[in-house]
Amino acid sequence: MSENTPAPLSWPFREAERIAERLKQKGKDHALFETGYGPSGLPHIGTFGEVARTSWVRKAFTDLTGLPSRLLAFSDDMDGLRKVPDNVPNKAMLKEYLGRPLTKIPDPFEKFESFGAHNNNRLQEFLRTFGFEFEFASASDYYTSGRFDDALLHVLRHHEEIVNIILPTLGTERRATYSPILPIHPRTGVVMQVPIEQVDVDNGSVVWTDPADGTKYETAVTGGAAKLQWKADWAMRWYALDVDYEMSGKDLIDSVKLSSSICRALGKEPPVTLTYELFLDEKGQKISKSKGNGLSIDEWLTYAPKESLSQFMYHAPQRAKKLFFDVIPRATDDYIAAATALPTAEKPHDNPAWHIHGGVLPEHAGSPIGFGMLLNLASVINADSPEMLWGFIRAYIPGADAESYPFLARLVHHAIAYNRDFVAPAKKFRAPTKVERAGLTDLAKSLAADEQAQYPGETPAEKLQNLVYAVGKRHPFAPLKSWFDCLYQVLLGTTEGPRFGGFIALYGVERTVALIETALARG
């Protein structure tokens, strides 16, 4: 960026400025970005949003400062399995392993060496599909390799302080048993939530009692023999890795606050954080993985290009947004507008497409026809194949095809799916009146008879349009518009439609005849 360019106002750049300021104060010359994943952790649309948004901030940071950075995708795979998920096989087996770290539980899908490894693999595969640049990190690896040992001993030294930060936030029953340190049971392998009776800083260990049989154990806090409870875990990680930036949903506001306090108690300034708003379903409720409400990534990508999902995630992260089918067309058209405006934008850094494409707009981005428009057309002509739509598009842009307009070709593909699943099912076919029935019968007969006839210099569409018009004239339709209304309402189930001759030419004469017969049979 040149000195004269005004500072971009877009939120990723504002976040980047906050990070740059932090680095300046700390005297750091590189930045660590982190995103975290819970143990239930199969990738979902929120995962995409968090990594996409973090990546945009990171790109803005690079652009702003020129400093190196890393993005760590950290999996909490050492957390104990609390309950058996609904959507996995081998539930009975999993039940036997409840309470143990995910990386110590066999993979219910029988593909990887553990359930944790399975989830980790799925996550990385997911992130790679979208082309995110990241480094994967496993909590189990970090704990067992000793990478966290220094920080864990440090936590032990501040044990009382940390307990005092957390205690006021807990209910009375929990207060009695709370400790940020969760020993792994040396015999059963279960992550234990037990009172810590003694903290031995010199030995780096804690003493606790197994409530099942009263046995007393002394467990090292290092080397993976123990792990930390959630909020302390987050704080310790920030401390140990010196994380500079991490965003999270607003459901974690209190956790961010407490973890930040703990991080400070350990002696380091917590990272720059951003709290983003949650996604709501069509009824305004929080999207929940277990409830399965809202919209999945796969569903979104069925109905619109992935750029539109990025556009949706880019826009106003601190604003609650409905994540449902009906937001897709607008997100898509917003993206198209941004991509179209980017090449001539005065402030490209403020354009969503700049962020979505990492600063470089691909060739053929954007579309001469909006998605909403295309949906309208698909609905009106009952499009069930790309060629039907292309026929109309070519009337508008001569010579257009999938090769010259590749992005439009993707839109066409998606418009058909969206129309099929959301628009078409809402259609209503009404029964024909007596007069209409006669007209339709006439039309079917005339179409079948005239199929071979062709006047010189006349396109099939014109010929068919004339035929439809002539049939209407032969019957008492007044005004003639009502004859065409009948065609749309009875045959297509819509209130309006395309020039009917063109529709027949595209749809096929025989199929149109069949369509009429179906409608007559229905009436």
DSSP 286: B
Q: Report d(CA 8, CA 350) in Å as an integer.
A: 6
Q: Which residue, 67 or 450, is less far from RNA as judged by CB?
A: 450
Of the residues 129, 198, 203, 318, which one makes contact with RNA according to CB under 7 A: 318
Of the residues 30, 82, 128, 522, which one makes contact with RNA according to CB under 7 A: 82
Binding residues for RNA, rule CB under 7 A, total 65
The answer to whether 325 contacts RNA (rule: CB under 7 A) is no
Sign of torsion over alpha carbons 109, 110, 114, 118: negative
Q: Which residue, 203 or 318, is less far from RNA as judged by CB?
A: 318
The answer to whether 280 contacts RNA (rule: CB under 7 A) is yes
The answer to whether 6 contacts RNA (rule: CB under 7 A) is no
Q: Report d(CA 443, CA 453) in Å as an integer.
A: 15
Contacts 24+ apart (CB under 8 A), 257-260: 258/165, 258/166, 258/169, 258/231, 259/231, 259/232, 259/234, 259/235, 260/235
The residue range among 74-82, 88-96, 201-209, 426-434 that interacts with RNA, by the rule CB under 7 A, is: 74-82
Question: CB 78 → RNA: shortest distance, Å?
Answer: 9
Residues 479-498 that bind RNA (CB under 7 A): 480-481, 484-485, 487, 496-498
The residue range among 116-124, 202-210, 421-429, 462-470 that interacts with RNA, by the rule CB under 7 A, is: 462-470
The residue range among 98-106, 305-313, 393-401, 420-428 that interacts with RNA, by the rule CB under 7 A, is: 393-401
Question: CB 194 → RNA: shortest distance, Å?
Answer: 12
Q: Give the containing element (helix H, strand E) for 259.
A: helix 253-266
Question: CB 323 → RNA: shortest distance, Å?
Answer: 11
> Pattern 237-266, binding to RNA, x per CB under 7 A?
-------------xxxxxx-----------
Q: Report DSSP letters for 336-370, one per residue.
A: HHHHHHGGG-SSGGGSHHHHHTTT-PPTT-S-SS-
Residues 330-349 that bind RNA (CB under 7 A): 330
Q: Report d(CA 192, CA 181) in Å as an integer.
A: 9
Strand partners, 71: 33
The answer to whether 169 contacts RNA (rule: CB under 7 A) is yes
> Pattern 29-68, binding to RNA, x per CB under 7 A?
---------xx-----------------------------
CA dihedral 157, 163, 164, 166 (to 10 degrees): 140
Question: CB 131 → RNA: shortest distance, Å?
Answer: 26
**Tokens 């209407």, residue located:** 472
* Strands of the sheet with 205-209, listed across from one edge: 198-200, 205-209, 216-220
Question: CB 133 → RNA: shortest distance, Å?
Answer: 25
b/e 80-111 (16+ beta carbons within 10 angstroms → b)? bbeebbeeeeeeebbeebeebbbbbbbbbeee
Q: Report d(CA 136, CA 128) in Å as an integer.
A: 11
- Single-letter amino acid code for the residue at 261: S
Which residues are within 8 A (CB) of 90 and not within 5 positions of it... i.e. 6 or more apart? Answer: 106, 108, 110
* Biggest CA-to-CA distance, the chain: 103
Of the residues 154, 264, 268, 322, which one makes contact with RNA according to CB under 7 A: 322
The residue range among 9-17, 110-118, 202-210, 445-453 that interacts with RNA, by the rule CB under 7 A, is: 9-17
Residues in contact with RNA by the rule CB under 7 A: 9, 11, 14, 38-39, 76, 79, 82, 169-171, 174, 178, 182, 193, 229-231, 233, 250-255, 275, 277-278, 280, 284-286, 315-316, 318-320, 322, 330, 369, 372-373, 376-377, 380, 391-393, 395-396, 465-466, 468-469, 480-481, 484-485, 487, 496-501
